[in-house]
């Protein structure tokens, strides 16, 4: 399977969900094996942050990446769009510290990106799960098990009659992501939005870029795009965060009552349990070339942080290897 970039520069304009500031984002072509990088065009110098779990600095409201004093927030929706469309190598320039929220989903990104994919004659490095693994943190859980493809399941439970218990599973590929997942919007409860705004957050949030729920139901006049839009959006978040592994995953990931914090800790745990996965190159006919991890670590060390080069995860969370 070949790597992909984009044919030309593609720009998006919107507002930051939390800052409320106008943001311009431009996705630019990048060379094979360079991965996804974010560049702050509003700062002097070459201020770049790699899209890597190693660079995650905050997960309280969204997934924020940082390198030294350079921060890039709310990355998960664009990362999900790139991952869902199998786009491996791009430079993302933004003129603010937060990506634009657009309509609260990945659909606006997907609409333009899917028409501008460009194949690169370089094999994709993939992480193939060969043994199940489970991460637990309180009543949240993220598991992965072998699967010949990339499948994601999200199980959510909220004490509200509009949501209650929902589950959604998708075998992620170009078509399924575009049709089933990309347009699912972020959501929040009205009282939470009011609290965040009082504390200087969610200043760019509106009914145009989020599903808002009050005690009576959905506030948005148009209602939901899917009956299970909440679970589908959680799948989108999982896909976006998993893009920070640095290479596509071959396996079935199930996230139960999990958020960005648990997704990142799960990936850190996966990096440590090297007996659970292999690095492979897979050709167009499905044949695989298993790569030696020590050799790959040596090749990647100076350029791209792969999962097995990550630091240990905090000891405060429970790790369970099955």
Which residues are annotated as catalytic?
A: 260
Q: How many residues does the chain have?
A: 322
Joined tokens for residue 140: 């949240």
Q: How many CB atoms lie within 10 A of CB 139?
A: 9
Enclosing H/E stretch for 77: helix 76-84
State how beta strands 140-145 and 249-256 pair: antiparallel
> CA 3, 7, 11, 16: dihedral to nearest 10 degrees?
0
Tokens 């399977």, located at residue: 1
DSSP assignment of 113-180: HTTSEEEEEEEPEEEEE-S-EEEEETTEEEEEE--SSEEEEEEEEESSTTTEEEEEEEE-SHHHIIII
Joined tokens for residue 120: 């690169």
């Amino acid at each position: 399977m070949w790597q992909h970039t984009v044919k030309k520069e593609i720009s998006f304009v919107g507002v930051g969900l939390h800052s409320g500031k106008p943001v311009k984002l431009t996705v630019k072509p990048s060379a094979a094996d360079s991965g996804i990088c974010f560049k702050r065009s509003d700062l002097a110098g070459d201020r770049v942050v790699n899209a890597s779990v190693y660079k995650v600095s905050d997960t309280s409201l969204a997934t924020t990446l940082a390198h030294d004093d350079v921060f890039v927030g709310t990355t998960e929706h664009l990362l999900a769009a790139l991952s869902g469309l199998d786009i491996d190598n791009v430079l993302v320039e933004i003129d603010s510290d937060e990506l634009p929220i657009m309509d609260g989903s990945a659909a606006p990104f997907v609409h333009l990106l899917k028409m501008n994919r460009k194949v690169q004659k370089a094999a994709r490095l993939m992480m193939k799960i060969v043994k199940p693994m489970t991460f637990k943190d309180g009543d949240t859980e993220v598991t992965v098990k072998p699967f010949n493809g990339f499948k994601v399941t999200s199980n959510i439970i909220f004490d509200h009659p509009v949501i209650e218990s929902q589950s959604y599973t998708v075998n992620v590929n170009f078509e399924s992501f575009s049709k089933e997942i990309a347009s699912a919007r972020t959501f929040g409860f009205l009282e939470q939005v009011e609290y965040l705004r009082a504390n200087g957050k969610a200043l760019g949030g509106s009914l145009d870029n989020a599903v808002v729920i009050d005690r009576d139901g959905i506030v948005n006049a148009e209602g939901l795009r899917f009956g299970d839009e909440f679970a589908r959006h959680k799948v989108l978040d999982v896909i976006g965060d998993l893009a920070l592994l640095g290479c596509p995953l071959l396996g079935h990931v199930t996230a139960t009552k999990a958020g960005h914090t648990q997704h990142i800790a799960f990936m850190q745990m996966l990096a440590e349990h090297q007996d659970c996965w292999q690095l492979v190159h897979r050709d167009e006919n499905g044949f695989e070339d298993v790569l030696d991890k020590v050799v790959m670590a040596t090749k990647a060390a100076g350029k791209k942080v792969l999962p097995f080069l990550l630091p240990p995860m905090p000891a405060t969370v429970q790790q369970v290897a099955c």
